[in-house]
Amino acid sequence: MTHTMQAAQVEQFGQPLVFKELEVPTPGPGQILVKTEACGVCHTDLHARNGDWPLKPPLPFTPGHEGIGIVTALGAGVRAVKEGDRVGVPWLYSACGHCEFCLAAQEPVCADAQFGGYTRNGGFAEYILADPNYVAHIPAGLSAVEAAPLICAGITSYKGLKETQARPGQWVVISGIGGLGHLGVQYAKAMGLHVCAVDIDDAKLAHATRLGADAVVNAKQADAVAAVVQATGGGAHGVLITAPSLPAFEQGVRMTRKHGCCVLVGIPPGEFPTPLFEVVAKCITIRGSFVGNRRDMAEALAFAADGKVKADIELQPLSAINQVFERLAKGEVPSRVVIDFSPR
């Protein structure tokens, strides 16, 4: 048995990941060891690599929070999973389980929450240590590579759509049709919503149309807000902003219908100007949404297991991760890259 593993780590913010041969970790009490089969590459991994956010991860660390694999070892006392189970190690790596937020199934905002591939080592490695109470349970019928994008991009876009409170037959705008957005379009259609897709890239918009979007608008066109208001008959009841780009946020607020809700999930560093009179006089809600809870995870995976949602994936080996980051930064990844760990 081999006792070392390949991992790609951030040693310095803004620098390429460094490939390392590390000890395979041993699960302590209450922990499990997962042998990685696949791990999606989220734009958040790029923010993490760049040190973009106020809360910075301790260096060095292994990014990746869409890791799927097989449980190969259990620490003492583990009952929630068994060896051989296929699980996902998500962004919500663990939480305290006892605070006011955990008790309300709002564990992503638990003050003690740990984040996979950020405050805990993640899936850009051949093995991942995980907390069995917070792993995603991958339904039979979904392969590891199919499941990977669902445990962050999927749950986040699905939960964000629920948070808009748009009802079947109403309109949602999805701004940013990348990893999150291309799944968001599919969840929204499966939820009975009308979808207006917004992006700065016509190829992404053409893809949204293929996935069922009812209208598309290029955010770069001068009258993009007017075009959305026109297409949706007065603005969208719900707006989901996944774009990692600040101009998309003010624009998204302006695309929101009276009494509608604009949900923010993209996290480019910085702030955006809020058109205050418009928000007040139109009674608009602006709301943040951060991944989802474990129930949201099960629901998001069930849509895929039922064949209603399918991630478009491009497989790459771990050795290509730095090139993948370069393309992601330029918006050149069509939907989602998944790192494939299967032996070749």
Contact between 42 and Zn ion by CB under 5 A: the answer reads yes
Contacts with ligand NAD by CB under 6 A lie at 42-44, 47, 152-153, 156, 175-181, 198-201, 204, 219, 242-245, 247-248, 265-268, 289-291, 328, 331, 333
Give yes or no for a cis peptide into 60 (omega within 30° of 0): yes
- State the Cα angle at 280 between 276 and 282, rounded to 5°: 115
Min CB(74)–Zn ion separation in Å: 24
Nearer Cβ to Zn ion (65/237): 65
Contact between 110 and Zn ion by CB under 5 A: the answer reads yes
Min CB(302)–Zn ion separation in Å: 20
Binding partner of 102, given Zn ion, ligand NAD, none, CB within 5-8 angstroms per partner class: Zn ion
Contact between 92 and Zn ion by CB under 5 A: the answer reads no
Q: Do 170 and 238 form a contact (C-beta atoms < 8 A)?
A: yes
Nearest to 242 by CA among 170, 162, 182: 182
Min CB(89)–ligand NAD separation in Å: 15
Min CB(152)–Zn ion separation in Å: 3
Contact between 152 and Zn ion by CB under 5 A: the answer reads yes
Nearer Cβ to Zn ion (38/102): 102
Nearer Cβ to ligand NAD (19/290): 290
* CB-based closest residue to ligand NAD: 178
Contact between 44 and Zn ion by CB under 5 A: the answer reads yes
Nearer Cβ to ligand NAD (31/242): 242
Q: Residue from 5, 73, 99, 329 that binds Zn ion (CB under 5 A)? A: 99
Contact between 95 and Zn ion by CB under 5 A: the answer reads yes
Nearest to 157 by CA among 190, 204, 203: 190
**Residue 299 has which token pair?**
């629901």
Buried b (16+ CB within 10 A) or exposed e, 229-249: bebbeebbbbbbbbbbbeebb
Binding partner of 117, given Zn ion, ligand NAD, none, CB within 5-8 angstroms per partner class: none
**Under the rule (CB under 5 A), what is the footprint of Zn ion?**
42, 44, 95-96, 99, 102, 110, 152
